[in-house]
């Protein structure tokens, strides 16, 4: 959520910045600032009334002490009238406060200056590429055929038990999935991230804290009886650990990681692009989250990108990094880099990670602050990234490391799988 002080002082710059997203913020900001002016005037009037009430309250005691009963009664009448005015004005101010908050929830984050304007994925910039496309001397199979051939994943059983988008992993397929999770967590630990096992459901406040609500409410699985939501990513519970927290000093760099299943409705997804593991309603992911001093955000983002690059290099996968344009950048992000691996069997790029900086956008919602050297409070910065999301990594490993007689397991995974090849 953008800070109201920033909206007041940088109105035109924010409106111009949000045009990178093809988002017309002017009507919302104009209404917001009008209500903000009304709120500030109402708050000043309310403070004046409270001050006047306090003065009368003090005088009543003195008047009674001096035997000026009639004047004391007049003061009591004045206090009663002020209390009525205070109650009506407070109701107005509280409603304005709620209206302002709802308007602010509608404003996405302002893209970083490095983010270029654009409408969709066609306008994203490729900033890095590595690896080569495998060449086969046999007919390469897509992962859904490999899964069936080697009895690794049962998509039909998932449909029977739950529905489309909820596959069963079995045998060596399950072991490979578990090996990837352990490998990603092990690498995160080496990089200084503290591991958490987080809840798989969160309350509404947590959804609002990281920006999933109200923006993506229809994409989250909701449990209305309990007011809970199934998490779409470990980012939500991990970042919310620091909701309503004031860090005691400027000397901090918090690095967290966690494996969780993730749940997304993916409404409107259909066709060949969602076949097999390409798009699921439940999938596994290891997330990395950082909370940083604003001066360290750019460096932290680079470190997170290098971490994800290292994972893909160790897995022997061809990949590229895209800096997303304004129109393709997520609601809460100031800047996002997507990592895509190339699926040689499907002949297409598959997104496997997004690494984003949110600057103060999430921290403002979370009320996540730190104490400066002069004891003032300032908003922290948040970042997160997938390191990594498993379904498309699994698909790419199966497809890109297939041979005529099996699937070769990358060396870094073999100590976790207990086997070097699936055949």
Rounded to whole angstroms, the Cα distance separating 225 from 197 reads 25
pLDDT above 90 (res 77)? no
Averaged pLDDT for residues 258-283: 85
pLDDT above 90 (res 71)? no
Give yes or no for a contact between 263 and 281, defined as CB atoms under 8 angstroms apart: yes
341 marked ligand binding residue: no
Q: CA geometry: angle at 18 spanning 15 and 21, to 5°?
A: 150
**Residue partners of 410: CB distance under 8 A and separation at least 6:** 314, 315, 316, 397, 401
Rounded to whole angstroms, the Cα distance separating 7 from 210 reads 20
352 marked ligand binding residue: yes
The per-residue pLDDT for range 301-357, each reduced to its tens digit, is 999 999 999 999 999 999 999 999 999 999 999 999 999 999 989 999 999 999 999
Domain 121-422 has CATH 3.30.930.10: yes
Taking every pair of Cα atoms in the chain, the longest distance, rounded to a whole number of angstroms, is: 108
353 marked ligand binding residue: yes
351 marked ligand binding residue: yes
* pLDDT of amino acid 387: 98
* pLDDT of amino acid 267: 65
356 marked ligand binding residue: no
pTM of the full predicted structure? 0.92
295 marked ligand binding residue: no
Any idea where the domains of the chain sit in the sequence?
4-105, 121-422
354 marked ligand binding residue: yes
Rounded to whole angstroms, the Cα distance separating 154 from 161 reads 11
The per-residue pLDDT for range 136-159, each reduced to its tens digit, is 999 999 999 999 999 999 999 999
The per-residue pLDDT for range 346-379, each reduced to its tens digit, is 999 999 999 999 999 999 999 999 999 999 999 9
225 marked ligand binding residue: no
Give me the CATH code for the 4-105 domain, please.
1.10.287.40
* pLDDT of amino acid 215: 86
């Amino acid at each position: 959520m953008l800070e109201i002080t920033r909206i007041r002082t940088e109105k035109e710059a924010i409106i111009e910045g949000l045009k990178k997203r093809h988002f017309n913020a002017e009507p919302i900001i104009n209404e917001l600032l009008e209500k903000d002016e009304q709120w500030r005037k109402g708050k000043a009037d309310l403070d004046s009334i409270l001050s006047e009430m306090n003065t009368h309250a003090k005088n009543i005691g003195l008047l009674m002490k001096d035997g000026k009963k009639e004047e004391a009664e007049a003061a009591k009448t004045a206090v009663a009238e002020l209390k009525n005015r205070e109650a009506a004005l407070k109701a107005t101010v509280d409603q304005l406060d709620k209206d302002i908050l709802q308007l602010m929830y509608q404003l996405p984050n302002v893209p970083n200056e490095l983010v270029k304007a654009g409408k969709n994925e066609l306008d994203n910039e490729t900033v890095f590429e590595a690896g080569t496309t495998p060449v086969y001397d046999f007919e390469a199979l897509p992962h859904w055929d490999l899964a069936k051939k080697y009895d690794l994943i049962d998509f039909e059983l998932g449909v029977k038990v739950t529905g489309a988008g909820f596959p069963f992993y079995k045998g060596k397929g399950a072991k490979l999935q578990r090996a990837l999770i352990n490998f990603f967590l092990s690498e995160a630990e080496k990089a200084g991230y503290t591991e958490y096992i987080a809840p798989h459901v969160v309350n509404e406040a947590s959804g609002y804290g990281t920006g999933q609500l109200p923006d993506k409410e229809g994409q989250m699985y909701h449990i209305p009886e309990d007011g809970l939501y199934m998490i779409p990513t470990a980012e939500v519970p991990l970042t919310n650990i620091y909701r309503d927290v004031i860090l005691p000093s400027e000397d901090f760099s918090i690095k967290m990681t966690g494996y969780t299943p993730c749940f997304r409705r993916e409404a409107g997804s259909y066709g060949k692009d969602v076949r097999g593991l390409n798009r699921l309603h439940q999938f596994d992911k290891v997330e990395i989250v950082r909370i940083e001093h604003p001066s360290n955000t750019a460096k932290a983002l680079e470190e997170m990108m290098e971490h994800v690059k290292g994972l893909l290099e160790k897995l022997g996968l061809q990949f590229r990094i895209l800096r997303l344009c304004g129109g393709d950048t997520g609601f809460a992000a100031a800047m996002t880099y997507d990592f895509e691996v190339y699926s040689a069997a499907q002949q297409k790029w598959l997104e496997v990670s997004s690494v984003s900086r949110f600057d103060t956008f999430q921290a403002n919602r979370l009320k996540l602050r730190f104490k400066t050297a002069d004891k003032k409070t300032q908003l922290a910065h948040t970042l997160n990234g997938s390191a990594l999301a498993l379904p498309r990594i699994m698909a790419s490993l199966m497809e890109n490391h297939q041979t005529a007689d099996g699937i070769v397991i990358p060396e870094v995974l073999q100590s976790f799988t207990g086997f070097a090849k699936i055949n």
